[in-house]
């Protein structure tokens, strides 16, 4: 499924050695940078050593593949609390990491000399509503741990946010980068909290905190409990059975993004020089569509596709979310550009699901995460 996205990086600035305590300052103008979206590598002149938490979720494995093409397999460490498949182990370093265990995280950072931390651990919207206490622990306490860890060890940290960080009082079409949020799910509340605590640590302590608000992310991996996951589930059901029951109304418009665009946005954002960023949290998106529009496009490939609509509690969540995401700040500040629209999204998703799940032997399917 994975296709290579981006290329190399630049050298680090030379360290200073003034013997009196002074505030940490930005790189001086005389330090040379490569053209846009290239990153100053921290610490010595080596590639960043990267830790990915929650690595066996929707984004982690593919993110690790992309980063390993850029920085080398040994420099990207995937982690989770789940037993990995053999294929995950064969693709690069994997370790156990519990984000609620601060001392354990400290040991990992010290032992592996971590420079960047990409924090994917979270309970998604629909799942979080079913277990609010656990969502608070994972999504809020876990963020506290990794933010404090990043401050302590001067890491560059990425924490994803979401369209779920907005609520019914937010403008929905379009939803700008800075506006009222007031979400009504614990997932959304926890993401607003992550955005604010990260920005606070940036202003208070100089933490290099970076956050992208992602729309619904579409990949061939089976659905993971998000409100936008109908746009993933329908491919699995349509290609296997020729039918699908959708839990959202046909006219429910939501922002979406193919996983390759999502991961390329993450990489470009992480590489962007600090002085290029006008804020620490950005909206990013690629398209907006309704279930009806998606199914119509998919129906061109599955002519006898039969869809029924049975809206459930997830409809209430979707009704409070943005319909169209305004990501003009990201396009202006660090030159974000999406690649995939609805037509080629459907083309690639059909191929991805068939190659990875439909046209594989039963024993191979057990290796999929």
**Alpha-carbon span 203 to 168, nearest angstrom:** 29
**Alpha-carbon span 8 to 38, nearest angstrom:** 8
Domain edges within the chain? 122-361
- More confident of the two residues 19 and 175: 175
Alpha-carbon distance values, 81 to 52, 57, 95, 172, 282 (Å): 12, 11, 9, 36, 29
Confidence band of 163 (pLDDT split at 50, 70, 90): very high
| CB of 145 closer than 8 Å to CB of 82 | no
pLDDT of 224: 81
Question: Mapping DSSP to helix (H, G, I), strand (E, B) and coil, where does residue 125 land?
Answer: helix
- More confident of the two residues 302 and 33: 302
Annotated catalytic residue, options 71, 94, 187, 258: 187
pLDDT of 126: 84
Whether 187 is catalytic: yes
pLDDT of 292: 98
Give pLDDT tens digits for 81-128.
999 999 999 999 999 999 999 999 999 999 999 999 999 999 988 889
Residues with Cβ within 8 Å of residue 301, at least 6 apart in sequence: 346, 350
pLDDT of 58: 87
pTM of the model as a whole = 0.85
Find the helix packing angle between 259-271 and 60-71, rounded to 10°.
50
Q: Percent of the chain at pLDDT above 70? A: 85
User: Which CATH superfamily hosts domain 122-361?
Assistant: NAD(P)-binding Rossmann-like Domain (3.40.50.720)
DSSP-derived pairing of the beta strands 254-258 and 216-218 = parallel
pLDDT of 8: 38
């Amino acid at each position: 499924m994975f296709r290579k996205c981006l290329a190399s990086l630049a050298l680090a600035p030379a360290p200073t050695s003034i013997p009196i305590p002074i505030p940490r300052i930005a790189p001086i103008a005389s330090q040379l940078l490569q053209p846009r979206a290239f990153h100053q590598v921290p610490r010595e002149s080596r590639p960043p050593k990267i830790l990915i938490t929650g690595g066996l979720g929707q984004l982690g494995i593919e993110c690790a593949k992309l980063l390993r093409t850029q920085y080398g397999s040994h420099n990207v460490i995937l982690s989770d609390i789940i037993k990995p498949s053999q294929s995950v182990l064969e693709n690069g370093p994997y370790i156990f990491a519990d984000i609620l265990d601060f001392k354990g995280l400290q040991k990992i950072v010290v032992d592996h000399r971590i420079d960047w931390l990409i924090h994917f651990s979270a309970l998604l919207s629909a799942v979080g509503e079913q277990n609010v206490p656990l969502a608070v622990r994972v999504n809020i306490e876990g963020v506290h741990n990794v933010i404090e860890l990043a401050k302590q060890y001067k890491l560059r940290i990425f924490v994803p946010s979401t369209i779920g960080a907005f609520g019914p009082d937010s403008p929905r079409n379009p939803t700008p980068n800075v506006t009222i949020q007031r979400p009504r799910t614990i997932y959304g509340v926890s993401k607003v909290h992550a955005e604010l605590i990260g920005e606070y640590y940036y202003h208070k302590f100089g933490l290099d905190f970076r956050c992208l608000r992602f729309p619904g992310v579409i990949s061939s991996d089976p659905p993971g409990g998000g409100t936008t996951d109908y746009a993933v589930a329908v491919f699995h059901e349509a290609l296997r059975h020729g039918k699908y029951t959708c839990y959202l109304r046909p006219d429910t418009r939501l922002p979406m993004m193919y996983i390759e665009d999502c991961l390329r946005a993450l990489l470009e954002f992480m590489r962007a020089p600090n002085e290029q960023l006008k804020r620490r949290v950005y909206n990013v998106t690629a398209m907006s569509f309704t279930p009806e529009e998606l199914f119509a496009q998919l129906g061109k490939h599955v002519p006898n596709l039969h869809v029924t609509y049975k809206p459930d509690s997830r409809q209430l969540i979707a009704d409070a979310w943005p319909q169209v995401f305004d990501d003009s700040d990201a396009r202006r500040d660090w030159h974000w550009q999406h690649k995939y629209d609805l037509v080629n999204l459907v083309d690639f998703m059909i191929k991805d699901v068939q190659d990875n799940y439909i046209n594989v032997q039963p024993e191979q399917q057990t290796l999929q995460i």
